[in-house]
Amino acid sequence: QVQLVESGGGLVQPGGSLRLSCAASGSILSINVMGWYRQAPGKQRELVATITSGGSTNYADSVKGRFTISRDNAKNTVYLQMNSLKPEDTAVYYCNVGGVTTRWRNYDSWGQGTQVTVSS
């Protein structure tokens, strides 16, 4: 099993910044893609950003130039630096990690979610 623990959400004013963290632990042999998704009230969950083991990144158009995803492979941790936040960024943010366990099984794990609220 692979567990994810997220942190860093909260309330911030428009134009402000937040940094989300997600640490993976458990029976991890390897981690391939790490990513962040979000779900606003009444909307479907959507991709925010992903990063591969090689460092290639992908962003939703709505966050390009404002958000930066990064990872620390030694700590099995992925980060999301969010700058110039807008009210429409308000959502529950979920971490997602995929890879292979020590029993050579693929896994696709989700974090519990962390609330980000952008409001004055």
pLDDT in tens, 93-112: 999 999 999 999 999 999 99
Task: Note the pLDDT tens digit of each residue in 10-56.
Answer: 999 999 999 999 999 999 999 999 999 999 999 999 999 999 999 99
For position 120, what pLDDT does the model report? 95
For residue 80, give both structure tokens.
């999301």
